Homo-oligomer: A and B are copies of this chain.
């Protein structure tokens, strides 16, 4: 078993707020991340696929294909966008790093056919990142 990782990045705006909270509660929970006009990040993504190297090619998966899948099903839909308003698959979701990583997993997983999607890591700033491995609660 080998774990193969491809990085990607995108730049986007978001605003953290829950429309069912009062303004005061949004500010208490999200602080400056609740600023009405939003703010943004350069997001860095690490997508890891687990599998056996094919004995003929030496590849677990062709990373050029992984790059295309990441671009087509995720990055092209979020890059230079406002995550609260412009992205179909984030409608109704508070765009925390946690929720973006889960959404990314859901976008990519059905298209990974060589090996299996093992992990999505999302770096929101140089000091914060999240990782999702598809683990669900009983």
Contacts and interface: CB of A to CB of B under 8 A. Distances in A.
Give the number of times this chain occurs in the complex, counting copies: 6
Nearest to A93: B58
Interface of A: 1-9, 11-14, 16, 18, 20-21, 29-33, 35, 37-42, 52-53, 56-60, 62-64, 79-82, 85-86, 93-99, 101-102, 125-133, 135-137
B99 A129 contact: no
5 contacts: A6-B128, A11-B41, A58-B96, A58-B99, A60-B98
Contacts of A136: 1
A67 to B, nearest CB: 8
Given A2-B102, A11-B125, A29-B57, A82 B37 contact: yes
